[in-house]
Amino acid sequence: MKNFESTFNRWVDGDLDEAERREFEAGLDAETRLAAKAWPATRALLKETARTISLPHPDFLNEQIRREIERKPAPAAAWFPLRRLLLAGACCVAAAVVLTAFFLPLQNHAETVVFMAETSSPDTSASAFQTPGARGAVIWLEGMPYIPGEERVQ
């Protein structure tokens, strides 16, 4: 039946080739053939009917549409904030990456505490460094003529 319906539609639309048309028409009753012949007239009438439909209160429709679209942001106005928002987001991420990369080494350095130490000799200076989390401190001595044996790092 589905195949018949499909062929019927193609026949009404004039889409069958000559052989298909002859074969299909042979199986039709006279009434259906006659009715189908009148279909182009029905089709023309359908189009004509569509053209006679008039819109009631056309200017009121325009007014309603205008009111509605002016209440909502215009397409361009709606598009730009979204684009701007995306750009702003991307800039924030980029800035965060740059700042993190820049400040991270400084921050580590800043965590290192530097102590200055007085020495009895004016020719000798001493500095001590300690980084939190490190297991020891560094003592930097300058100007000492010698280091006693028991103080040397083994």
Partner 1 sequence: MDHERELLKRARSGDTEAFDEIVTSHRTRVYALVFQILRNEDDALDLTQDTFIRAWRSLDKFDGRHPLATWLHRIATNAAIDLIRRRQARPQCELTDGPMAVDPASRTTPSSTEVPGAALDRRDLRAILDRALASLSPEHRAVVVLREVEELSYEEIAERTKASMGTVMSRLFYARKYLQTLLKDAHEEF
Which residues make up the interface to partner 1 (CB under 8 A)? 2, 5-6, 8-9, 12, 31, 34-36, 38-39, 41-43, 45-56, 58, 61-62, 64-66, 68-70, 72, 74-79
- How remote is the C-alpha of 47 from its chain's centroid? 44
Q: Cβ neighbours of residue 7 under 8 Å, at least 6 residues apart?
A: 16, 20, 24
For residue 141, list its beta bridge partners.
126
Nearer to partner 1, 82 or 101 (CB): 82
Nearer to partner 1, 33 or 93 (CB): 33
- For residues 41 and 34, what is the distance between their CA atoms, to the nearest angstrom? 12
Nearer to partner 1, 12 or 126 (CB): 12
CB of 85 to partner 1, least distance (A): 17
CB of 92 to partner 1, least distance (A): 26
DSSP state letter for 16: S
Nearer to partner 1, 27 or 56 (CB): 56
Helix or strand run (H / E) with residue 130: strand 125-130
CB of 36 to partner 1, least distance (A): 7
Helix or strand run (H / E) with residue 113: strand 113-117
Residue 120 tokens read as 């009895």
Crossing angle of helices 18-26 and 2-12, rounded to 10°:
120
Nearer to partner 1, 7 or 125 (CB): 7
CB of 25 to partner 1, least distance (A): 16
CB of 77 to partner 1, least distance (A): 6
Residue 121 tokens read as 């000799």
